[in-house]
Amino acid sequence: MKKILVLLLVVLLFVCVGCAKEEPENNNKEETDMSETNNEVIDTENETEAENQPKNENGILTINPDDYYKCVVFELPKENFRDAAVNHMRAQSSIEWVCSNDFAVSEKFNSWGINLEWKKGEKYMGIPYSDTKVSLEEFKTYMVDGTFTCNSSKWKEVPGNACMSSIFNSIQQFEPNVAGVSNQLMPSYDTFQAKILGEYNVPKGVKTTKEIISANNLNDIYEAFASGIEGDIVIFKDDIKDASHIRMLVEPATVVRNAAGRINPSRSYVKTIEQTNAFDTQRKDGVKTTWFVDHVYTFDALIEKEYIPITLEIYNKDKSECEIPYLYLDEEITPAILAKGTAISTIKSNFPIRFMKAELLDKTGNCVNSVVVHDLHDTRSINLRNQMTKLFNGLENGDYTFVLTSGIAIGNAELARVDFTYNK
């Protein structure tokens, strides 16, 4: 009996030892299998999330609008950016208005000048030529029932734009970083923000486009012109004489080649749109305008007048990579603050601000005082404190409405409208 019990104990011990050896192997296998299964699930989830992640097709909004008192977010153009640029140039050139009083701009600069007159009762087309750098939407604010009144004859006061600012207005529908002055469009300068069109050499630091042309074989410049399409730009610049001009192509260049494939520069041409300092005498339809629309320039003529072609890097970007324009007022302007004749808020944007207008209206809605800030190059922030002294200067005690409007090239926004009582 004892022998039988000992035998049973040996068998049980052997079975238990066997179980002890097999259990870790089973556990390890289960853990490994589970780990691989989990990895597969995680990878699948990541792939699903990536597929379901909404693509920001309308652009990138770099701020949270809820962080500010009032934030207005604009949409990037729906059409491709090249078309958007040309379409905006056409919009600036085609706005119609009737002159409600005679005014003129006549000034002489280093190597060029302005001598323009607008006559009461006559109809004009296009934003007037001047150097206040107004946007299309700002110009519309100066029109009343289709008429435009100007009480100044100064180049820096007449609401309008010039060749450079009209181009900046157009490309700032989508491009915030090419802004300000013509130096940003000169390939030889460190401030160059555009892109050379074609393949030609640019000597660093030269001050004229003539020097750039001279540094190249003309065929290379002709080929660069030939590669131009709508939205591209031709620019002349001479900083020794303080002169420059710029045109935008409205369609692909027309190129004529000889049997050997070389460009014929007298028959090849570009068609452009531009704001100018003269009325267009080529118009046969009676339209009075300083805008040259769909004018044709041969490659020979461009070289003679020292033009070179450039383009924009953003034309090669997808809209989803671009910043969405916004404009905001950071802090609320309260009646209590205005009662003291001040305001400490700031207007900001990620695009160049085109203008700011602050108005004081009486009880009947008539404007009793206003301050307008424009002629801005690359301003992204306007502190209102600096403008309030002028706005409240000479104001009598009483009840008023404060209205604040500002705009970037793509649009305007009313940022504040506040009723208050002024008691100095």
How far apart are the C-alpha atoms of 322 and 76, rounded to whole Å?
9
Please calculate the CA angle 120-91-307 and round it to the nearest 5 degrees.
100
Structure tokens at 292: 């040259």
Cβ count near 137 (within 10 Å):
18
Distance, C-alpha 195 to centroid of its chain: 16
User: What confidence score (pLDDT) does residue 55 get?
Assistant: 52
Q: Whose structure tokens read 């940022």? A: 415
Residue 267 · residue 256 · CB < 8 Å: yes
Q: Whose structure tokens read 């309008």? A: 160
User: Within 13 Å of residue 190, how many CA atoms lie on the same side as its CB?
Assistant: 0
How far apart are the C-alpha atoms of 421 and 424, rounded to whole Å?
10
Q: List, in order, residues 6 or more apart from 370 with CB less than 8 Å away.
A: 357, 358, 359, 360, 391
How far apart are the C-alpha atoms of 401 and 365, rounded to whole Å?
8
Question: If residue 3 lies in a helix (H) or strand (E), which one and from where to where?
Answer: helix 2-52
Strands, DSSP E only, in 242-325? 243-249, 269-275, 291-298, 308-311
User: What confidence score (pLDDT) does residue 79 get?
Assistant: 95
Give, for all 424 residues of the chain, the pLDDT tens digit. Answer: 444 433 433 334 333 334 443 333 333 333 333 333 333 333 334 444 444 444 578 999 999 999 999 999 999 999 999 999 999 999 999 999 999 999 999 999 888 999 999 999 999 999 999 999 999 999 999 999 999 999 889 999 999 999 999 999 999 999 999 998 899 999 999 999 999 999 999 999 999 999 999 999 999 999 999 999 999 999 999 999 999 999 999 999 999 999 999 999 999 999 999 999 999 999 999 999 999 999 999 999 999 999 999 999 999 999 999 999 999 999 999 999 999 999 999 999 999 999 999 999 999 999 999 999 989 989 999 999 989 999 999 999 999 999 999 999 999 999 999 999 998 8
Structure tokens at 23: 């259990």
At residue 320, the 3 state secondary structure works out as: helix
Q: State residue 315 phi and psi, 5-degree precision.
A: -60, -25
Residue 371 · residue 355 · CB < 8 Å: no
Question: Which amino acid is present at 147?
Answer: T
Question: Which amino acid is present at 101?
Answer: N
How far apart are the C-alpha atoms of 368 and 395, rounded to whole Å?
8
First-to-last C-alpha distance (Å) of the chain: 119
Tell which CATH classification among 2.20.25, 2.60.40, 3.40.50, 1.10.8 matches the domain 65-73+324-422: 2.60.40
At residue 387, the 3 state secondary structure works out as: helix
The total number of residues shown for the chain amounts to: 424
Domain with CATH 2.60.40 in the chain: 65-73+324-422
Task: State the angle between helix axes of 163-171 and 81-94 in degrees (0 to 180), rounded to the nearest 10.
Answer: 130
DSSP category for residue 392: H
How far apart are the C-alpha atoms of 363 and 352, rounded to whole Å?
34
DSSP category for residue 54: P
Strand partners, 205: none
Strand partners, 358: 371, 404
* CA neighbor of 344 nearest in space, from 328, 357, 355, 333: 333
How far apart are the C-alpha atoms of 349 and 381, rounded to whole Å?
7
Please calculate the CA angle 226-229-234 and round it to the nearest 5 degrees.
75
